[in-house]
Structure 1
Amino acid sequence: MPKLTLIWFSIVLAACGGGGGSNSPAPDPGNGAPPSGLAERPNNSSCIAKVSSGDAVALQTVFSSLPSNNALVGLYQAPNSSEWFYAVHQSGHIYRFANQANVSNKTVFLDVTQRVDFDGESGLLGLAFDPDYANNRRFYIYYTGGDDLTSYLERYTASSDFASVESQSRTVLLTLDQPYGNHNGGQIAFGPDGYLYIGLGDGGFAGDPHENGQNLNALLGKVLRIDVRNGGTSYQIPVDNPFASGGGRAEIFAYGLRNPWRFSFDRATGRLWLADVGQNLWEEINIVENGDNLGWNLTEGDHCYTPNCDKTGLKAPVYEYSHDDGCSVTGGFVYRGSAIAGLQGQYLFSDFCSATLWRLQQNDQQQWQRFTIAPAGGPPAAFAEDSQGEIYLLIYNGTIKKLVAAGSGESVTPAEKLSETGCVSAVDPKQPASGLIPYTINSPFWSDGAEKTRYLGLPNNTTITVQNNGDLLLPAGSVLVKNFSLAGTVFETRLLMHHGSHWQGYSYRWQSDGLDAIRQDSALVADVQGQQWLFPSAAQCQACHTDAANDSLGLTLGQLNKSLLYPSTQINANQLDTWQHIALFSSPLSASQRQQLLPDYRDGQYSLSQRARAYLDSNCAHCHQPGGPTSVAIDLRYATALSATGICDQPPQAGDLGIANARILAPGAPERSTLWQRMQRLDQFRMPPLSSFQVDQQGAGLIRDFIVNTANCS
């Protein structure tokens, strides 16, 4: 499973932050109505996001009437058959459903939940139908299970009607001990040569501590190729495997891999495309051939991981990208369908963290270049290819999206200069446009000590829908503006824009003269007043701005339920009352909605538990909640009981940091709690791992005190 299943992400474009409130009373407008900071809704005719009329390629949600199942990691059709789909869930289920747009039911094809260890990156991870499935009814699965965590390759035989599995058909072909719970690989697929290929990670933890990647006597960190055509209780070795005659394990086809989570064969050329999840800095895509050494752990991507490494004999990836644009590559397919002519022959892939759909295309110099297609709208666990060569993107929460052709539309990217976006004053770009509404929140996200101001641009004649959980759904065309400053000097402005089909973030870096800010299209780490600061790329913005996090993140009733001194009127009033007075909501707030509150974790009037849980909500729950960009069952939202969060007295699933008897949260023992320990670090195990270069001492102290004073998990 992609490695970021187990970590916190930093919000790189969160519509959240601190400050701006006031406790002075507001004048009573009379008629018994609560005070309002604004008399009327401002006219916003300039700060409006362009709404996409369509791109050459769009992602269309399909099979939406099916019952939802989380942890979707694979979707397959049997060879030369388009009638049925088979959905693989990490929990140990394979479901079968009809290939019909309005299908609403599915049946269990195979259930191995009793043998599967579904935890973190472990579970049922792969399915492959025999090329002659129509005649021999054989298929293969790969999963991790057992008390000691073992990987299994097993063969089964489908029933004569192909609707279920013969009960006594299980045959174990390969078992492999796993030293850790991550980097289990998981992809299995038949190649055009008829052999079965198996992708295995290096065994896990970090840095390949057992050095499996380069060990030819170990199967971990490899792509295996075996011959299973005889249907017996064992497999054979293809005679042209690189070590079939000795010098290494005969099953090895290629080696030097960290975690080849997903690979595929180009159905036109037979090329093996493999995406290998990186460690700290680089994600890579490889075209793999017989006997290749892909480099790990000597190299990460095409860069030395082991200091002063010798690259002799190593095969470089055809494409790599840094963690500026993501942190866990999800491999896809070369497009060979007929619905989207412009994609023909291009490799499609994504990233579990940045959740962006990309394509690779060769230029005239035969170099592979990456182009953005669309935001994925959630953490993409895998891709699927149907019998016609059409491609699907699988979101981990169970959503299935199909790539479809769409009309061409104008670019929705805002102006290069902030002064030309319509979201700031034309006279003084440091001031907001007159149509924007200032806002603040209760529990801000840590941004390395930067101060933040926030504004909402809502298109005229539109309203905000309030969900049952208090999240606010903004209409298409909405814009969120956030300024970052240190010592009173603004140095970055971020725009989060709702383009209709998706949200997208844009970073503007202020020039040294302070007269304007320029859009920063690529990620940049720069010195800002003596400290490092990340100006995020658009892809990094998508790491947290997913459907599960409601895209806009900080706009919730609980966050907004506080007073603000409105600059234009100098009236201090509650923001919810003000927004209701100027009719921003599609319907009036109910009494219970009006009472929703996320405590300010800096405010001592709240209990230690309330403040700590509020901190975790605003700093961690944007990823660690159901449907977020993580497969581990952790839910750090404020409303979730501690006993239901999955952290209290639970063993860590991303490594124990060398701590004896470690727990994510060990009641009364912060020294054994990886939750707190990771907040203290600035190395590769740092949480959050993106966009923050300084420890939040106040926040870490709060969580430490919370752990010390937590006696049990009830």
Structure 2
Amino acid sequence: MHLNRLNGFLVAGLLCVFTACGAQGKPATAAVHFYPDNNPALLSEWGVVTASKGALRLSKGVVPYDLNTPLFTDYAHKLRTIYVPDGKAAAYRDNDYPDFPVGTIISKTFYYPRASGEQTGDRTRILQANDTPGKVEPVLDDLASVDLVETRLLVRREKAWEAISYVWNDDQTDAKLTKIGAYRDMTLVDDKGQESDFTYVVPNTNQCAGCHALNNTTRVIAPLGVRPRHLNKLFDHGDGETNQLEYLAMIGYLKDAPAPDKTPRNADWKDEALPLNERARAYLDINCSHCHNRDGAADTSGLYLTQDIALGEASGRCKLPIAAGGGTGNLPFDIVPGNPDHSVLMYRLNSTDPGAMMPELGRSLRHDEGVALIREWIQNMDGSCAG
């Protein structure tokens, strides 16, 4: 049997999602509680994701999901879930997130595998296992082997979506509401034993809007990862692999969805059997296009990195940057075909300087594997910017 993974962590046998999971011997927690107005002080009060008896558990009706290509966040692993109230469903939209009903709660829990369970002072040592094939990794039914950092909620209230952040306590028994964000000093240990110190940043309320406010004029918050092109993939919810969109339709969470083969689908950026262009475009789409689109926070840049933009000047090829100077590395074009080292895009993805790096929120580290992918993509791009 093939066991699906959430960013490298085993799903089967770990989390009880519906009462059908009872066969795995893990009862569901209490029901989800929707708060139409206020935000409770503790994550457990929502009942979506809770820590109990040394394991992380989901309540009945809380459905885990995965993305074809996920957003990079300092090598953090992420448990993503969707909850839709009983008797309600989201309306499918082809190039947008589904139109979820009031009461919907989308969660994302960020965590790391511990390095031998050790801590040094206030600095937690963690493993960089996210991009290491074949590594034996801890699982979420043993919280002693992982470091829970934060859980973010997107809650669909009557007027709009609201982004809410909770930071896990040292005992990993619950997470506390924060509006001002938080910082965690951590040490990343790679598969060769090399260590890198960094500061993990939990965003404040305004920073959440920096990514989730998809329209730079209205600044209305909206979900990002639950678009059909990201969800259109196989996933094992305990009864064998099923397409996620079909599964959500089957349980009544999604209506009017076309067949998966008639639905947009992003590539898996790690799948080297797929065309390089598809993998690179999928990576840029999930990591950059929430700002770099015609309505987003980077609308004035003229650089648009959604999948529907043809490969050309609008997507960076031989495009002059709007800004100049240190933020661009004094390079002439966003993308120079065949020459990643002369491309602004490569410079900014490679940088960890807050004044130059992209994305500018959500990371303190360089994503070495993602940088290598985009480097290869530009290196193999035909043409030139001469003349």
8 A Cα contact 2:246 2:260, kept in partner: no
Report the CA distance between 1:49 and its aligned residue.
4.0
1:532 and 2:199 are equivalent in the alignment: yes
8 A Cα contact 1:667 1:707, kept in partner: yes
8 A Cα contact 1:625 1:637, kept in partner: yes
1:450 and 2:117 are equivalent in the alignment: no
SS in 1 for 2:286: helix
Query: Structure 2 CA distance, aligned partners of 1:512 and 1:420?
Result: 18
Query: Structure 1 CA distance, aligned partners of 2:384 and 2:58?
Result: 46
- Aligned ranges 1:470-619 → 2 under 5 Å: 471-487=97-113, 488-529=146-187, 531-548=198-215, 551-566=222-237, 569-590=238-259, 593=262, 595-619=263-287
Query: Structure 2 CA distance, aligned partners of 1:644 and 1:421?
Result: 46
Query: Structure 1 CA distance, aligned partners of 2:74 and 2:112?
Result: 10
Aligned to 2:359: 688
Report the CA distance between 1:603 and its aligned residue.
0.9
SS in 2 for 1:650: coil
Aligned to 2:134: none
8 A Cα contact 1:562 1:574, kept in partner: yes
Give 2:304's match in structure 1, choosing from 635, 639, 642: 635
Query: Structure 1 CA distance, aligned partners of 2:157 and 2:31?
Result: 15
Give 2:292's match in structure 1, choosing from 594, 606, 624: 624
Unaligned 5+ segments in structure 1 are 1-16, 24-36, 52-411
Letter of the 2:344 counterpart? T
Report the CA distance between 1:457 and its aligned residue.
1.0
Query: Structure 2 CA distance, aligned partners of 1:659 and 1:572?
Result: 46
8 A Cα contact 1:38 1:582, kept in partner: no
Report the CA distance between 1:664 and its aligned residue.
0.4
Query: Structure 2 CA distance, aligned partners of 1:38 and 1:662?
Result: 58
Letter of the 1:623 counterpart? C
Letter of the 1:476 counterpart? V
1:459 and 2:85 are equivalent in the alignment: yes
Report the CA distance between 1:433 and its aligned residue.
1.7
Query: Structure 2 CA distance, aligned partners of 1:448 and 1:689?
Result: 12
CA RMSD of aligned residues (A): 2.9
Deviation string 1:441-480 (CA, Å, 9 cap, x unpaired) is 1110011001111111111111111113253221121111
Query: Structure 2 CA distance, aligned partners of 1:21 and 1:604?
Result: 22
- Aligned ranges 1:388-427 → 2 under 5 Å: 412-425=37-50, 427=52
Query: Structure 2 CA distance, aligned partners of 1:44 and 1:516?
Result: 14
Aligned to 1:299: none
- Identical amino acids, percent of aligned pairs: 27
8 A Cα contact 1:668 1:707, kept in partner: yes
SS in 1 for 2:150: strand
Aligned to 1:434: 60
Deviation string 1:494-528 (CA, Å, 9 cap, x unpaired) is 11111221212122111111111111221222214
- Aligned ranges 1:632-671 → 2 under 5 Å: 632-643=301-312, 645-657=314-326, 662-671=332-341
Deviation string 1:39-70 (CA, Å, 9 cap, x unpaired) is 89xx999435433xxxxxxxxxxxxxxxxxxx
Letter of the 1:632 counterpart? S
8 A Cα contact 2:69 2:283, kept in partner: yes
Query: Structure 1 CA distance, aligned partners of 2:257 and 2:20?
Result: 17
Query: Structure 1 CA distance, aligned partners of 2:291 and 2:57?
Result: 32
SS in 1 for 2:246: helix
8 A Cα contact 2:249 2:255, kept in partner: no
Deviation string 1:373-419 (CA, Å, 9 cap, x unpaired) is xxxxxxxxxxxxxxxxxxxxxxxxxxxxxxxxxxxxxxx23211112
TM-score of the superposition, structure 2-length normalised?
Answer: 0.75
Report the CA distance between 1:570 and its aligned residue.
4.7
Query: Structure 2 CA distance, aligned partners of 1:533 and 1:689?
Result: 14
Letter of the 1:576 counterpart? L
Query: Structure 2 CA distance, aligned partners of 1:562 and 1:638?
Result: 17
Query: Structure 2 CA distance, aligned partners of 1:635 and 1:476?
Result: 31
Deviation string 1:164-196 (CA, Å, 9 cap, x unpaired) is xxxxxxxxxxxxxxxxxxxxxxxxxxxxxxxxx
Query: Structure 1 CA distance, aligned partners of 2:206 and 2:233?
Result: 32
Report the CA distance between 1:659 and its aligned residue.
5.2
Query: Structure 2 CA distance, aligned partners of 1:686 and 1:534?
Result: 15
1:47 and 2:38 are equivalent in the alignment: no
Report the CA distance between 1:644 and its aligned residue.
5.5
Query: Structure 1 CA distance, aligned partners of 2:69 and 2:312?
Result: 22
Letter of the 2:163 counterpart? G
Residues 46 and 545 (structure 1), Cα distance of their counterparts in 2 relative to 1, 3 Å cut: farther
Aligned to 1:697: 368
Report the CA distance between 1:604 and its aligned residue.
0.6
8 A Cα contact 2:19 2:60, kept in partner: no
8 A Cα contact 1:22 1:572, kept in partner: no
Query: Structure 1 CA distance, aligned partners of 2:383 and 2:65?
Result: 38
8 A Cα contact 1:19 1:440, kept in partner: no
Query: Structure 2 CA distance, aligned partners of 1:612 and 1:472?
Result: 25
Residues 656 and 416 (structure 1), Cα distance of their counterparts in 2 relative to 1, 3 Å cut: same
Give the helix-richer structure, 1 or 2: 2
Aligned to 1:102: none
User: Aligned pairs, how many?
Assistant: 320
TM-score of the superposition, structure 1-length normalised?
Answer: 0.42
Residues 591 and 432 (structure 1), Cα distance of their counterparts in 2 relative to 1, 3 Å cut: closer
Unaligned 5+ segments in structure 2 are 1-5, 13-17, 22-27, 114-145, 188-196
Query: Structure 2 CA distance, aligned partners of 1:564 and 1:427?
Result: 25
SS in 2 for 1:508: strand
Report the CA distance between 1:663 and its aligned residue.
0.4
Residues 538 and 425 (structure 1), Cα distance of their counterparts in 2 relative to 1, 3 Å cut: same
Deviation string 1:294-334 (CA, Å, 9 cap, x unpaired) is xxxxxxxxxxxxxxxxxxxxxxxxxxxxxxxxxxxxxxxxx
8 A Cα contact 1:21 1:562, kept in partner: no
Residues 457 and 518 (structure 1), Cα distance of their counterparts in 2 relative to 1, 3 Å cut: same
8 A Cα contact 1:520 1:535, kept in partner: no
Deviation string 1:658-708 (CA, Å, 9 cap, x unpaired) is 756610011111121110001111111111222311001111111111111
Letter of the 2:373 counterpart? L
